[in-house]
Amino acid sequence: MISTIYLENEVRDHPVTKALLLRFQNATVIPCDRYTEVFNRKAQNFRLQKKKPSLILARKHHGFVMKAPDSYGIGGTQNYYFSHMLNCIYDCRYCFLQGMYRSAHYVLFVNYEDFTRSMETILDEHPDDEVWFYSGYDCDSLAFDPVTCFTDFILPFFKKYDRARLEFRTKSTQIRSLLKHIPLSNCVVAFSLSPENITQSLEAKTPPLINRIESMRRLQKAGWNVGIRFEPLIFSDDYKTRYGELFSIVASQLDMSRIHSISVGAFRVPKPYFKTMVRLYPDEKLFAGPLEEEDGTISYQQDLQEEMLEWCSQQIKQFAPACHHYQCRN
Amino acid sequence: MLTIVTALLCEARPLISDFNLKKVPESHPYPIYRNDELNLVISGIGKIASASATAYVHALNGSCNHSAWLNIGLAGHSDYELETGFLAIKIIDQSCHQSWYPSIIFEPSCQTGMLITVDQVGKKYHPNYGVDMEASGFYATACRFTTSELVQCFKVVSDNPQTPVRKIAANEASKLISDQMEHISSIIDALGQLQTEIDTPNQTPPFFNEIMALCKMTHSEQLLLREKLKRLFLLNPNHEMDFSLFVKPHQSKDILFVLEKLISEQKVLFQ
Ligand code: SF4
């Protein structure tokens, strides 16, 4: 699956690197000084690279954990996000990563220890608060976990800090590592779900809806907090039917009384990213839909967006009345 | 269109004959050969010559967003056997210490390897690296004109520590290249496929010309017209245009307004 690895000289001897090189013994390893020599340089085509992405092993030097925007989060007051990886093995057509990066290679920052060190500092800065750390901003949190083994590293940290909260955001079914660990009450595994036709049309390479739900069931059964993210909501003329079907499947397959939280979120992309996305996929129907620009962001037309968010929220209140439910507009 | 850049005529000869390339009759600073799909330019030796010839052909052909470029030539190598053909996965310019990393998005039929471009060929080999005189100049220049995945360097090992640098006869150089034609053809095919994948020729959307004939439009209005027609037919490829909707006397703003309304009336459905 990975045939080329670009390796920053600086992380050659890092234990995570060594484990990965052992795993991909047949890969061609190309040394480099900084990952930016390879990643995101000018004259790169995300769409072409997505056909055969390489793995880049690098050290992150700063900005390990970032303050999340005010609108972000599921109720906590202190919200932070982090990305131990850039890019994703899936290929969702609505994904902002394809507009943000020129490269589709996967960058893995192997110095995981610096992420937790940074989290410790942040926890010290907020001694009386719960602090949320969101994973999965620049990648899917779990999709590449069998390779990165990041959960094996991060979970013991959260076991130590009860006040720290962790959200994994995923569309994947890679839960084997989680199932090996004792469930943590301060960790949520949040699955992004879309109607099956949207998954098939716009979420290339992701597991089918039914497999994601099966993974959620298994995690619930094992005692993990499971969240649901209906994000981004994708408009179609039959969206009520499609999302209605999705909600019935979810309600019938999962123990709703034990769902940690549900959120619905609008499709929103910064305009420059959107322009790149259209350039990459000029024949994508999604981009021809009822979208508009407001303050440099492309989203569904205001009325339509409100209507979808409200309708979905109402439905969710009916099938999961007791569940924490959030609307994300940004 | 794909352009092959070689340093010498003897390297180009087997390509000219295999691809049935014809010399461009007009006079140019570099010999240029061509068929319907390929250009070949003979740059002369060295990275500056290679960069200049690359830029010259680009200027000559006019801008084409997704042109493909292939540098073919001979190289020394510290480890590879003589006559080994390889695609460069890293190119270092020895004098400026800059590096480039060609992305090979296809499964190459040949080996891959790292390459150092030098200004003067010496007797020294660099462990794990090939040595040539053109790749850095060619690569850096070609990447200004197209996306880097469509720019590749293919080298054939002409010397190694066991058979060090020597004067190579023209027919020997030609043979080294001609023995690699299978690999070269497969690289050209692969680059062609990648080009097709991202080439969205600036196709004129349906009814663009008919609507343009109705009234004068500024350049930005023409762009909007193109964009709206494209969206309309993406949402409904079978849309039948009713020209009576465009009321007379035809005004560009009214036409664009009608088109936006038509777009909003289309159903958005995902299968
Ligand atoms: S799973 Fe998430 S990160 Fe991955 S491509 Fe889809 S939207 Fe992007």
- Average pLDDT over chain A reads 96
Rounded CA-CA distance A146/B190 in Å is 31
Task: Count CA atoms within 13 Å of residue A219 on its CB side.
Answer: 30
Joined tokens for residue A46: 């995300």
Q: Is the CB of A139 under 6 A from ligand 1?
A: yes
User: Min CA distance, B252 vs chain A (Å)?
Assistant: 21
* Distance in angstroms (rounded) separating the CA atoms of residues B22 and B33: 5
What pLDDT score was predicted for residue B202? 66
pLDDT digits (tens, 9 = 90+) for B122-163: 888 999 999 999 999 999 999 999 999 999 999 999 999 999
Is the C-beta atom of A140 inside 6 A of ligand 1? yes
Per the structure block, which two tokens stand in for A183?
């469930």
Other CB atoms within a 10 A radius of the CB of residue B9 amount to 15
Q: What is the domain-level CATH number for residue A141?
A: 3.80.30.30
Question: Which DSSP symbol is given to A12?
Answer: T
Set of chain B residues whose Cβ sits within 8 Å of the Cβ of A30 = 89-90, 101, 114
User: What is the biggest distance separating any 2 CA atoms in chain A, rounded to whole angstroms?
Assistant: 55
* pLDDT per position as a tens digit, A306-323: 999 999 999 999 999 888
What is the per-residue DSSP string for A149-180? Answer: -HHHHHHHHHHH-TTEEEEEEES----HHHHH
pLDDT in tens, A21-37: 999 999 999 999 999 99
β-pair partners for A8: A32
Q: Which atom of ligand 1 is nearest to the CA of A87?
A: 3
Mean pLDDT, chain B, integer = 95
Backbone angles phi, psi at B182, to 5 degrees: -65, -45
Q: Amino acid identity of B2?
A: L
In total, how many domains does chain A have?
A: 1
Superfamily of segment(s) B2-198: Nucleoside phosphorylase domain (3.40.50.1580)
Those residues whose C-beta lies under 8 Å from the C-beta of residue A127, and which sit 6 or more positions away, are: none
Give residue limits of the domains in chain B. Answer: 2-198, 208-265
Number of Cβ within 10 Å of residue B179's Cβ equals: 13
pLDDT in tens, A222-257: 999 999 999 999 999 999 999 999 999 999 999 999
Q: Which of A4, A45, A201 sits opposite B270 (nearest CB)?
A: A201
B74 has which bridge partners?
B156
**Nearest residue to B64 (alpha-carbon basis) of B118, B121, B20, B1:** B1
Instruction: Pick the closest to residue A171 from A266, A64, A95, A252 (CA basis).
Output: A95
How distant is the alpha carbon of residue A209 from its chain centre? 16
Q: For residues A233 and A243, is the Cβ–Cβ distance under 8 A?
A: yes
pLDDT-derived band at B3, boundaries 50, 70, 90:
very high
Range A170-191 burial, b when 16+ CB lie within 10 A, else e: bbbbbbebbeeeeebebbbbbb
Contacts of A283 in chain B (CB under 8 A): 200, 234
